[in-house]
Amino acid sequence: MAKMYYNQDINEGLLQGKTIAVIGYGSQGHAHAQNLKESGHNVVVGVRPGKSFDQAKEDGLDVKTVAEAAEQADIIMILLPDERQKKVYDEEIQPALKAGKSLVFAHGFNVHFGQIKPPADVDVFLVAPKGPGHLVRRTYEAGAGVPALFAVFQDVSGQAKDVALAYAKGIGAARAGVLETSFKEETETDLFGEQAVLCGGLTSLVKAGFETLVEAGYQPELAYFETMHELKLIVDLMYEGGMSGMRYSISDTAEWGDYVSGPRVVDADTKARMKDILTEIQEGKFAEGWIAENENNRPDYNAYKESEAKHQIEVVGEKLRAMMPFVNEGKKTKQEEVVGSATN
């Protein structure tokens, strides 16, 4: 089994006396900043004036401009959207990167694909939570955590690995487990996971199931409950007990259907297309396309976003969720609403 690091294996004291700049106060930013602060560390948030700047102040954090926060900090964690990191790094962070500082990421995209080229005299590492930022915060508050990966790209101090682990512990990740990787492995697997399984694969599966039922004449509300709402309940069981744990709770009829019909939906052709997607990620084609899309002001991204928001499953779902206020319990803190709407 791979070496896993847990709280007891990590010396969080390495962060004592250091200032950590959390650059960006979105999904990951608000979680890292608040978790690190509550873990007893000295945090400054660096963000442009606006919604998340105001929110971070309201949350009681020390908030500065990006340049000021980077200047003041020993450890600079960049939690801006990947596509905006290069510009902000070039203009506001790089000038503050004095020898001996640490430059940190939660995803290796910009370093791995050569957008950001850090100077040779700083430590460079990543600490990448394997979960959405709002859950990094929520699980921390509940005394639990989201697992994370760490990777060292450059170790000038000789302490980069230990500081990365201390950071991971500070955000609560070592309660769940921290695993060492490389920038290449983190970047490629994270992109693959979100495209083929967690986000792209899943939303396409759910929409196809919903559309199949509705096109066959079944009620859209029923189709929503069947293919979207219940998904969380099923996934919760997989989170707790793996596929066997989930199959323990479902009927034998459902389990038999799982075995005989599942592989007809996701078959060898699907896997071959997953391999194509992975190859495009590995060859840098996905990154090139995403960078170009941003340089052109996101015409396709905006079109997809608009059309997806109008999909019948979203329209029906919004109405049904409004009748189930409990589904948002634990989520709708004011902070999360503001930060959630500020992202993307």
Ligand X SMILES: CC[C@](O)(C(C)=O)C(=O)O
For residues 123 and 190, which CB has a smaller minimum distance to ligand X in the complex?
190
Main-chain dihedrals φ then ψ at residue 65, nearest 5 degrees: -70, 165
Edge-to-edge strands of the sheet including 4-5?
Answer: 4-5, 178-180, 148-154, 123-129, 102-105, 75-78, 19-23, 42-46, 62-64
Measured distance CA(59)–CA(287) in Å, rounded: 35
Among residues 10, 29, 191, 313, the one that binds ligand NDP under rule CB under 6 A? 29
- Radius of gyration over alpha carbons of the chain, in Å? 21
Nearer to ligand NDP, 93 or 316 (CB): 93
- Looking at 118, 133, 170, 172, which residue binds ligand NDP (CB under 6 A)? 133
Residue 107 falls in the annotated catalytic set: yes
Binding site feature residues: 25-28, 48, 52, 133, 190, 194, 226, 230, 251
Residue (of 38, 126, 31) closest to 77 by Cα position: 126
Interaction of residue 71 with Mg ion, rule CB under 5 A: no
Q: Is 123 in the site for Mg ion (CB under 5 A)?
A: no
Residue nearer to ligand NDP on the CB measure, 51 or 57: 51
Question: Tell me, what DSSP letter sits at residue 152?
Answer: E
176: amino acid identity, one letter: A
> Could you say which of 30, 32, 41, 107 is catalytic?
107
Query: Binding mask 60-99 vs ligand NDP (x if CB under 6 A, - otherwise)?
Result: ------x------------xxxx-x---x-----------
Q: Looking up tokens 């000789």, which residue turns up?
A: 158
DSSP letter assigned to residue 323: T
The contact set with Mg ion (CB under 5 A) reads 190, 194
The contact set with ligand NDP (CB under 6 A) reads 24-29, 47-48, 50-52, 66, 79-82, 84, 88, 106-107, 128-129, 132-133, 342-343
